[in-house]
Chain A
Amino acid sequence: MTAFRSPAGGRIDRSKPIRFTFDGRQMHGHAGDTLASALLANGVHLVGRSFKYHRPRGILSAGPEEPNALVTIDRGGGRETPNLRATQVELYEGLVARSQNRLPGLRFDIGGINNAFSRFLGAGFYYKTFMGPQALGGAKLWARLFEPAIRRAAGLGRAPAGPDPDRYANRFAHCEVLVIGGGEAGLAEALRRSEDPACRVILCDEQAEFGGWMLVEAPERADEMVKALSARPNVTMLRRSQAFGAYAQNFVAIAQQLTDPLATTDAEAPCERLWQVRAGEVVLASGAIERPLVFPDNDRPGILLAGAAETYLRRYGVLPGRKIVILTACDTAYGAAFALQDAGAEIVAIAETRAAPGAGDIAARALARGIPVLPGTTILGTTGHLRVSSVRLGRIRPDGEAEPSGGFTADTVLMSGGWTPSIHLFSQTKGKLRWEEGLGAYLPALPAPGQAIRVIGAAAGEMPAGMRSPALGALPVAGSPDRVKAFVDFQNDVTARDLRLATREGFRSIEHVKRYTTTGMATDQGKTSNLNSLGIVAAETGRSVPEIGLTTFRAPYTPVTFGLFAGQARGDLFDPVRRTPMHDWAERNGAVFEDVGTWKRAHYFLPRRPVDATASGHAAMHEAVQAECRKVREAVGLFDASTLGKIEFVGPDAAEFLERAYVNPVKGLAVGRCRYALLLNEAGFIIDDGIIARLAQDRFHVTTTTGGAARVFGMFEDYLQTEWPDLKVWQTSVTEHWAVIAVQGPRSREIIADLVEGIELSDAAFPHMAVREGRITGTPCRLFRVSFTGELGYEINIPAGLALPLWEKLAERAAEFGGGPYGTEAMHVLRAEKGYIIVAQDTDGTMTPEDMGLGWAIGKKKPDFIGKRGLMRPDLTASGRKQLVGLVAEDRSRVLEEGAQIVPDILAPAGSHAIGHVTSAYSSAALGHGIALAVIEDGRNRIGQLLHIPMERETIAVRVVEPVFLDPEGARLHG
């Protein structure tokens, strides 16, 4: 039997002892214990060091509101969770718990030095240090001195470094009634509503057992109600399930712990499940939280809430101490006193902050038990190193100060400042609140529009008189209140003095006081501190609490793991991956892939992995890309262009629609012909490009960029549905239907010629920018004679499922001709040699066709198209706009850096206006030197000029040239 375990009583299973360790120390508890109750049973109150001052802290509460007892639980194998509330951690065999925020140990902690300097760490410390005058160090002082020191010393538990090995699940659920909170009110509501078998009821509670306070006071009744509910098939009962967020239209998020610590669980089974519940009605039965009292040195281990002490005794069979002083502002603490006395503890005294203690005969009953009741009394201070050992009492004078009135030795102090209804979730749904003075708390008043949420029980303020107390704020002290440390927010180490200081410095609204002092901003969101903060600010500024306002409650109610939100969406399941039909072939043939949107594209091919381990990846890539480019220019290259967006337009108005959508004239496009097309937004800027191919009078095959496919399709849908709904045209995305094999290079015709049926390939019959439907290797195809390389070239559109055999055959033939596959990098180089732009690389959303030298594409006679009016705006027609040009470094071997800024003056000082920047830069195999595309103000008039690119260690001289580096006449293109 552990030292502080009562001989009998409670819900724990005394026949099942459980071993656990805390900071390496072996201890025993029982099945049914929480870590907190088991620690208390072993006489351990000291469980952590406080956030800022590293003060020793003990267990304050018995529930989710716990601000102090945060621990790290290590389940082994990388399953390590920091910042768990010991009051909510169920004990299991072999549990390993560690305290946090201590260096090197809990009992001796050098971070405690922050406590000695606490005068300087008060309200607004961070802001003041940041804003300090430069002469005195200001921000530098912060960066060099304070931040590193404080970061080391202050903080919560450490996040685990490795990946989380646990699995997390997700479930959507619908019900007629969701009851949040399984205490007496919640159980009764669930029973009542589930009488109708058609009414689906979900009941959730964060604890391992339903019953709430009944588990302390009337466990048999709780058992009966739970039994009755469990028998109803229309009731879903979620234990260990915290409703942490309530959103619009009765949508509630619940974090369910799936691991039953006492059962042997499959390591592969998920450990938590996120429930997303849409309810017809939400009933909030979340109860009330006891308020601490704000008196000097109220944070020593051994000082806890009276209701928590009663819970530990009656539910867990644990005595928190043997010599107990109680300070209370309401009657409920008497219940704790009587129960503890009955269990053998000495109740030294009940100090009553009220002048006339208690309702009815409660004080008389205490006196009859031999417990002194001291009306109008407070605690002026406590002593004790790592645990409270004595208290000094003070009589509250009518003037609001207190004078010393003796003291007691004690190992435990219980306090009760009344009870605060838990309205957090109601407030999250933007429900209207009202202040109730007698309760010192806000109560739900009116649900927000569209919310069917009802609050019942203690959460609605339905509390007996004995639970009620006004919000007391800070209790009277003897002498200056600024000389003592009376804690309001235990987790963020905010004292009454900090709050008073903030109001003296001019902060009036609680929202500002909160941010300045950080009160209520810790992970507990001020569950035990908010009302005391309001009371102090109200008293200090001579206003009522409603005049000060209330901070907004936000989800999550208690901290939620990242894993819960991530669910299955991690690793391979994080984002879908799109692969082309040629993906596996490319992989087998040494492709190194790059991500383009969600597509995997072959970036370049390394047919033989470099054997020389010293050869860097960059050099290997460079060689591969150069070789791929040479194959295209000298023989034939194969490129997988399947990722291109493809849209088929059908209908009598298809030409009319495209004529209005793209800058180009489309209505005059002959059947069997293609056109390079530019798409603008209404502002007049290029947002996409592609090929428009006319297959029939009323049928077009249009390509988009890989990345723009979905966006462009959505934009067209918008215009079709809302702008020009009268047009008879239907668009269909055929991106996934057609695989595209680009065959490019002087030998390209030769390798496809005898495979193609029904299409005459001669230049005369099938010129550049023509399209035909036919067959290739017997498969229906759409054959384009187009080129993004400047070479004679074809793009074969073939149904995706039939593409691979064709690709394999073409690859075989290409190899015979000294050609082969090329990747996206070579494609980029080849097109840059020709000055072909890539939208979103050479353009940035502020570029017009004219800027890009593509003004020729615009149908000048068209009355309107998307972006036409935009192009007429004065800024877009002004001179001095950035224009696309080519650049070659004076040191021709040099490859510039994409994004590098360009200035006219070699000695341009730092901060000078840049007249442009490099958009594309490569090493050109065909030309044997570096080439670049750039956008430069008035660029076309600067051809021939010498400009400069200031880099970190040097300035590079570059010559402005035409953006077409190779075959400007297009001789190669036309075969």
Chain B
Amino acid sequence: MNAPHENSRLSLVFTPEHLGEALSLYARNPGAILYAGGTALLSKQSERLPIFGAPLISLKRVEELKTIRRYENFIEFGAAVTLGDILRCKESRFLPPVFKTAVRAVGTPAVRNTATIGGHLAVTERKLLLLPILLILDAAVEVKSQTTTRSGEIKRFLDEKNGFILQANEIITKIRIPTGRFNLWGFSALPGSVIRSQDFFMSCFVARKNRFLIEKINFAFNIDGRLVIRIKQSEDRLIGKKFPLSAAEIREEMRFFTSKIEGELIAPSPYKKERIINAFRLILTQDLTKSGLIE
């Protein structure tokens, strides 16, 4: 096991190289901070010499968290894979285009070369750009503690406000992204995907269309980086419908969606509500004949 490195001011830093080591360190140091890319953790530090007030467990050297594997129906990323490596890896050409487009929209190249996919999911203060995308793709996660393993679709790990919930001493270990399930997609982020902006808004959808019929459609919206909205009943109502929808069908779906949105927004601002409704209209009125980007 690696000896911890003691900072002259406070922080101990552990740099485990294997998952078992990381999990046992975390079990023995329950107050420790998991340090992946550190981009979110450092953005809270104003000191030149950051002081964390608790030991750090660095995940970047953990072998099992750095792997990328392609299976028949999904690609599996270790939680410490950086967003930059996701775009560069040879498996990336099999990833859903909506996911790759969204990864490219996160921050800057320097941020993407540092931030990890696991850290991105685990950030609790903000709902980041990739969470809605992973949700609509039905992506799954694996989460481990020294004694337990939980895995399943990401939505099972979210609370009612769509925040990621980890139990004591759990580490996100893998993220599995299904491939080949959808043949249509759209993604739009304003303004320019700057998630810190007060005025951030993003919408995304994926669908599987067989000739004219929609077999599956998922969509989600991220408002101000605070709220991720999915209206499952609206998605279900569209399954089996023939696209393009008729004007009457669009009106009916809009009416239903709007009534659901009224109940969903924590602090309903008419402007933001209007944005979501407009984004939904855009999804419905696409003729959905080809995959691509809605701007």
Q: Verify that A and B bind, or say they do not.
A: no
* A residues whose Cβ falls under 8 Å from a Cβ of B: none
